[in-house]
Amino acid sequence: MTAAPDGLPPLAALETARLDWRSDASGEAAPHSPAFDDVYFSRHDGRAETEHVFVAGNRLAERFREWREPRPFVVGETGFGTGLNMLCAWACFDAHAAPGARLHLVSTEKFPLGREDLARALAAWPDLAERGEPLVAQWPEPVAGVHRLWLDARVTLDLHLGDAAERLALLEGRVDAWFLDGFAPAKNLEMWRPELFAAMAARSRPGATLATFSCAGVVKRGLAAAGFSWRKAPGFGRKREMLVGEIASPPTDDRRRQTPWFTPPAARPPRHVAVIGAGIAGASAAAALARRGIAVTLIDRQGPGSGGSGNAQGALYVKLAADTNLQSRTYLAGLLHSRRWLETLDPDRELWSPCGVLQLARSEKEQARQTRFLAHHALPEGVVQGVTADETTRLAGIAIDHGGLAYPQAGWVRPAALCARLAALPGIRLRRAEVVAMTPDEQGWSLALADGECLSADQVVVANATLANRFTQTSRLPLQPVRGQVSRLALPEGAPKLERVICATGYVSPALDGKLTFGATFTPHATDTGLREADHAANLAELEATLPALVAALRDAGARLEPSQLTGRAAVRAASPDKSPYCGPLPDAEAWQDDFADLAKGATRIPETPGRHHAGLWISAAHGSRGLASAPLCAELLASRICDEPLPLEQPLVDHLHPGRRLIRDLIQGK
Ligand code: SAM
């Protein structure tokens, strides 16, 4: 497969599986793949086969019973198919694991089932019905990449959609037990190639086990070449044999040879974390940590959602580059993640609406950009599609002269209410205070507060936007303040109804609580938060240029579209120079300066020294005006890293977000 310009597999829709439903020995319809001429499972004894081959083959009952680690037990799989194997692993976990234990499932799938097929396949197992529900409800669009699903409070599933070998090579995380599934090698030799076994070995914990139904020579040779030992075990039913095995000493991760600075610090799962900043970045990080049983003190000078996340309504959307790059991938992953996350957090949709977003092509330049984007990204229509002016008009419910891109997964959120909801979750203690300094101590970190008090925590997440680089340890992070003002118009009776969020240079959302919100201005380096009439005027001008028909209809309905009649809110957001967020462990800038000084003499002078970081200090900041799409995913990323779990993003995207990226760039450029 040809790689995208950033060297990763194409950011595209995957071919979904075409199933036929054939009567099996029991006379009942079972899913069969005509493409591979093989079955997903047998209706008669498929469940028992899974239990025998994969669950017992990896001794899961016994290992779950004994599991006492603070990190989750990780099961990895090739070929997710209908999810039967993973649901059985989950059932085994529930039957045997201690209450505090957690389970993390990682599975790859190149030809994901359609949602209806998935539901139909799982209906074969009535006693798994309850477990199948969150899977079907959160089933992602068939987009290549990582999709995190929350199956219940203790169980997480990461679906890595794409080819197993490619996806496991990009996985950041290690596995305790492998389910080596997939259609039989005789029917799907492509999957069982040496790269797959090598990637499995490299992503294994020491002592990781494996089990597979296949005893084919290609499997035995592939496993052995990658460092796994294997032996035959009694197979299921009429199959005489299967394979089980393990890897005592997995290879080290050689992906860091080119980027040793991004080597992650050793994880030390904490008991208590202080999160500084209760905007969307901090509040979502607090929620992600609390979900993992960590006590969180969420500290904010003014309370939840008081800065850039404090608007009554904000757009959940992204703008993707015409040519695939790491930033676009990260934002698209973030958008899809936020959507699933909101659905799980707030199924009644009190805090958000998935009404969809239309990104208009108002200029020829933007039209050309969108055409290029569509040519380079064959994404599913459920994620993004090109639409004509007639379609934008129909979708928006307002006459629009331009076509554009439609994002059905996007919409709007009540950011201030969302932050308040997150801050009130169990396990989070909200503290109104200002942190002025952080000092490492024996326990972890001591935080000096402006009121003279001190607060101790095992670890700290810095998430206070423009103030994130105020500390000694963060002072080298470039952050730019960007003032933004939104305007709100009280709608008169009979005002036209906008059905979608519309974006061009600014955005306007469907009415909420009788008001139309539009904006926002973008003023770099300005830090005052007073409302400016000139900014209201600019927002009005932008609204009129984008949706003249809406503005005319509002005037006809009696709305007073004048700056003096508008309310609104101004806040300061933080942006990084490259416009991607900072998310990850905080580098020890002085140590990097010494350890990587040779980069100034040539970018290829890469030492073997791993990057040194401030132990237990993390950041999620610089979300700019796209925090609703980026912060919840960054929160999961941090919490997963902190708790030594597999990460919900591919390794190159994790590196792309690393807060040390600018330090390295500056060193290479001799700054
Ligand atoms: N584990 C599944 C279950 O519990 O339902 C059954 C697996 S089914 C027999 C094989 C699966 O492997 C199919 O879903 C197929 O699409 C997937 N597959 C085939 N080739 C693949 C590849 N190269 N990478 C990832 N998945 C692949």
For 88-138, the pLDDT digits (tens) are 999 999 999 999 999 999 999 999 999 999 999 999 999 999 999 999 999
Q: Which residue has the tokens 């990658």?
A: 226
The predicted model gives 604-609 an average pLDDT of 92
Q: Whose CA is nearest to atom 17 of ligand 1?
A: 79
Span 557-583, average pLDDT:
96
CA 11 – ligand 1 centroid, Å: 20
Q: Are residues 131 and 210 in the same domain?
A: yes
Question: Could you tell me the pLDDT band of residue 220, with boundaries at 50, 70 and 90?
Answer: very high
Q: What is the pLDDT of residue 75?
A: 99
159 and 61 fall within a common domain: yes
Question: How far, in Å, is the centroid of ligand 1 from the Cα of 379?
Answer: 21
Please give the number of the atom of ligand 1 that sits closest to the Cα of 79.
12
For ligand 1, mutation pick of 16, 45, 110, 136 (most atoms within 8 Å of CB):
110
Atom of ligand 1 nearest to the CA of 84: 4
> With 70 as the cut, is the pLDDT of residue 293 above it?
yes
Whether residue 143 is found in the same domain as residue 83: yes
| CATH number reported for the structural domain that contains residue 370 in this entry | 3.30.9.10
What residue ranges in 47-95 does DSSP mark as E strands? 73-78
Count CA within 13 A, CB hemisphere, residue 553: 16
Counting from 1 in the atom list of ligand 1, the atom nearest the Cα of 85 is: 4
Residue 17 lies in a domain: no
Same domain, 235 and 320: no
Q: Are 269 and 129 in the same domain?
A: no
Tell me the residue range of the domain where 81 lies. Answer: 46-251
Residues 71 and 194 in one domain: yes
Residue type, 130: E
CA-CA distance, 645 to 306, in Å (whole number)? Answer: 31
The answer to which of 92-96, 104-108, 403-407, 601-605 has the lowest mean pLDDT is 601-605
Tell me the β-bridge partners of 523.
483
Residues having CB closer than 6 A to ligand 1 are 17, 40-41, 78-85, 108-111, 163-164, 181-183, 188, 190-191
Last residue of a domain, one of 525, 550, 575: 575
Q: How far is the CA of 174 from the centre of ligand 1 (A)?
A: 20
Up-side HSE of residue 171: CA atoms within 13 Å toward CB? Answer: 35
Query: Taking residues 485-506, what's their average pLDDT?
Result: 95
The confidence score (pLDDT) of residue 29 equals 83
Are residues 632 and 647 located together in one domain of the fold?
yes
| Residue from 32, 113, 191, 197 whose mutation best tests the ligand 1 pocket (most atoms within 8 A of CB) | 191
Q: Which two tokens stand for residue 353?
A: 């609406």
Kindly state the DSSP code that residue 188 receives in the 8-state scheme.
Answer: -
Domain boundary among 557, 575, 593: 575
Query: Contact at 8 Å (CB) between 441 and 614?
Result: no
My answer on whether 162 and 204 are in the same domain is: yes
How many CB atoms are closer than 10 A to CB 539?
25
**C-alpha 183 to ligand 1 mean position (Å):** 6
Ligand 1 atom closest to Cα of 191? Answer: 23
Q: What does pTM read for this prediction? A: 0.97
Residues 517 and 651 both lie in one domain: no
SS3 595: helix
Average pLDDT, the chain: 96
Cα separation, 84 vs 96, in Å, equals: 18
Domain count across the chain: 3
**Domain harbouring 87, CATH code:** 3.40.50.150
CATH number of the CATH domain containing 280: 3.50.50.60
The SS3 of residue 551 is: helix
Write the residue with the smallest CA distance to atom 23 of ligand 1.
191
Q: Which of 575, 596, 626 is the last residue of a domain?
A: 575
Whether 42 shows a pLDDT value over 90: the answer reads no
Tokens of 608: 């073997």
Would you tell me how many other CB atoms lie within 10 Å of the CB of residue 609?
14
Separation CA 313–CA 420 (nearest Å): 14
One domain, residues 547 and 433:
no
How many angstroms does the Cα of residue 233 sit away from the middle of ligand 1? 22
Q: Is residue 25 part of a domain?
A: no
Considering the domain boundaries, does residue 565 fall inside one?
Answer: yes
Predicted local confidence at residue 22, as pLDDT: 84
In a domain, 106, yes or no: yes
Closest ligand 1 atom number to CA of residue 190? 23
